[in-house]
Structure 1
Amino acid sequence: MREGWRSEPAAHGGCQCGAVRFELPAGPKKSTVCHCRMCQRATGNAFAPLLEVPTSEVTWHGTPSVWASSSVAERGFCSTCGTPLFYRSGDTTEFMAGSLTGFDYRPVANHGVEGCVPWVKGLHHLPDHATRPELVAEVVSHQAPEE
């Protein structure tokens, strides 16, 4: 197995609206976090937590839209709700960890650390706060149910 890859259980996930879903069989997978500027812009976030799998192993339900973000890679997303879903280069696809349902994501490495925003390294020192129950009770979600 390639460096950082480990045998993992099956996984599945998809976009917010449910138009695009995917299944990943049990087998080799690699979990990493990318801090590069391209991933920051693609996710609208400080980093991209990614689960890498062989592209040939992915089963799609619905068709993601794809955009060539560089000369070596493309990024997939749902054209209905806009959810970023993956980064694909070569023979692997790296899924956004937030699009996974019920998968024990455990990253093995940080990549693109030259783009790491300074405040990320201090997040573990901040206090944790759960969402207020009264807010949860009044929100009407338009997201598809998680499977």
Structure 2
Amino acid sequence: MTRLMTGGCQCGRIRYEAEIDNDEGYLCHCSYCRRATGAAAAAFKNVPQARLKWSREPEWYRSSPIGKRPFCQTCGTSLGFSYVDGENIDLTIGSFDEPGYFRPTSNFAIETRLAAWEDTSHLPGSRADEYRSLTDRWIAATGKLPD
């Protein structure tokens, strides 16, 4: 069953709607994706471009001879990856309004993955809403904590 999902950049200037067939996503470990997203691995959902509608066209960065990446020039959000001649696009999981819908089902470019970052579930964790330095700043700036 197809599900219409929405997403966009951090500042809201660029929004999209995508018809999604399943909850499968993947992690790309290549150095291009790591640098483009600033993350240890990039989480993507592959979508046919014909099933994607932008509210406004994002800016595009030609990141290699074969690839290009949509982004917002205002806030810098990385929105995905596409082959220059591709029919599909990989949208960043984090740019979806409901990123928790997706689950990772595979890894790509495993020859360059950062092994130390593969499983962090054993590490201690803390809640952002309990971190006083952060919450005090939000309340001082906006009068409330973010959603």
Residue 38 of structure 1: SS of its match in structure 2? helix
Q: Provide the rounded CA distance (Å) in 2 between the counterparts of 1:43 and 1:77.
A: 10
Equivalences for residues 76-115 of structure 1 within 5 A: 76-89=70-83, 90-103=86-99, 104-115=101-112
> How large is the RMSD of aligned CA atoms in angstroms?
2.1
State which structure, 1 or 2, has the greater radius of gyration over its C-alpha atoms: 2
The answer to which of 102-111 and 46-55 deviates more is 102-111
Structure 1 unaligned spans of 5+? 1-6
How far the C-alpha of 1:26 sits from its partner, in A, is 4.0
Q: How does 1:1-147 map to 2 (within 5 A)?
A: 9-27=3-21, 30-89=24-83, 90-103=86-99, 104-131=101-128, 132=130, 134=132, 135-136=134-135, 138-139=137-138, 140=141
Q: Which runs of 5+ in 2 are unaligned?
A: none
1:60-106 Cα offsets, whole Å, 9 max, x none, are 11221001111221101001111000101211111111101124110
TM-score (norm. length: structure 2): 0.83
Give the structure-1-normalised TM-score: 0.83
Size of the alignment, in residue pairs? 137
